[in-house]
Amino acid sequence: MTIPEFNFSNAIFHIFRTGGPKGFLWKFALAYGVCGMLMYALMGWAFAPIFASMFNPDVANDPDAMDALVLENMGRIFGGYAIIMVAALLLWIMFEAASQRRYMRGDGFGLRFSADEGRLLVLGLIFFGIFLATYIGLFVVMALVIGTSVAVSGDSGAGAGLAGVLMFVLIIAYFVGLLFIMVRLSPAAALTIRDRKIRFSSAWRVSKGKGWAIFGSWMLQYLIMYGVMIVVYLIVIALAFATVMPSLMGSGGAEDPAEVLAALSTPGALVTALVAGFLLSAVGALFLHAFDGPAALAAKTDPEWVNQDAIGDTFG
């Protein structure tokens, strides 16, 4: 397999320059779309009683009736939510591993739960720990700033204003710093798949001198995704109007909550909802895979690895 040079163009379009068996992208999108559609369906089933109550004035306007409805469906709601959370985590791990294997090994599409997925799970927990620690640290620093400002200035408006300005600066600095860390550590997943062992700190070295290209690629990919998703949403809205509006206009019950609920519960409306879930998930999957590309290319062009004999084992 020929490894492309790391530059801005290759980083952006690495999704199309991975090599390997053909058909990966449409299989990846199709599988993700089906899984997303099933997740939307499960979510709809879990929260159906609450959704239906919104169109029942006797329940929606009565707090006691709403509380009773929630208690009655507690197992369904929280059970469904728990299943969704676990399923979402497992799907993220499996699709992320499939994405990285494509970039780093040129594999065809396949979902499984193997050592690769286990290592990515541990890596994800490390990143979550970093985010949680920095988030808590932000609030600790903000509390210190507020306390110091009040202690120095008392209850005067100047003290409150100073605290507000400092908090704003801290929040901006926090997000900039967090983004910087995420960019510099972004090759970690690709390195973990490449070397078949958890790689975390090595990502900082691999991304050295490539951070701006990775960040710029993400920004351009995000703008492209934003435009494409607007088109997808317009398609979904058009489908919704085509399936729901005829039922409402035919019954003349656009102002009757019961008629609205009946229109939203027709087979055509439910199929439209599933199609929307499929389209949004499938298109989103392609961009998630694309976002992996720049950091994966940084890992693939690591000067301390590209000349090693292990490259043959990785792409063999």
pTM for this prediction: 0.82
**pLDDT at residue number 254:** 55
- Structural contact between residues 102 and 285, judged by C-beta atoms closer than 8 angstroms: no
Assess contact for 296 and 187: CB atoms under 8 A. yes
For the segment 295-315, the average pLDDT, to the nearest whole number, is: 72
Q: What's the pLDDT at 140? A: 87
pLDDT at 241: 82
What pLDDT does 149 receive? Answer: 72
Q: At what angle do helices 24-53 and 267-300 cross, to 10 degrees?
A: 140
Average pLDDT, the chain: 85
How many CA atoms does the CB half-sphere of 221 hold within 13 Å? 26
Tokens, residue 308? 């090693």
- When mean pLDDT is compared across 71-85, 169-183, 225-239, 272-286, the lowest value belongs to 71-85
Q: With bands split at pLDDT 50, 70 and 90, how would you rate the model's confidence at 316? A: very low
d(CA 292, CA 31): 18
Q: Is the pLDDT assigned to residue 302 strictly greater than 60?
A: yes
Please compute the mean of the pLDDT values over residues 213-231 and round it to a whole number: 94
Query: Within 13 A of 294's CA, how many CA atoms are on the CB side?
Result: 28
**Euclidean distance between CA atoms 299 and 294, whole angstroms:** 9
The arithmetic mean of pLDDT across residues 284-288, rounded, is: 94
Mean pLDDT, residues 128-140: 89
Residue 314: pLDDT above 90?
no
Question: pLDDT tier at 19 (50, 70, 90 boundaries)?
Answer: confident
Find the distance separating the first CA and the last CA of the chain, reported in whole Å. 9
Please give the residue that has the higher pLDDT: either 27 or 60.
27
Tens of pLDDT, residues 152-211: 766 556 666 777 788 888 889 999 999 999 999 999 999 999 999 999 989 999 999 999
Query: What is the spatial distance between Cα 20 and Cα 263, in angstroms, rounded to a whole number?
Result: 47
Q: Where are the domains of the chain?
A: 8-315
Greater confidence (122 vs 274) lies with: 122
pLDDT reading at 221 higher than 50? yes
Structure tokens at 167: 């908090």
Quickly tell me which residue has 């690709």 as its tokens: 190
Q: For residue 69, is pLDDT > 80? A: no
**228 neighbors 142 (Cβ within 8 angstroms):** no
Residue 31 confidence (pLDDT) above 90: yes
Nearest partner of 14 among 220, 289, 222, judged by Cα: 289
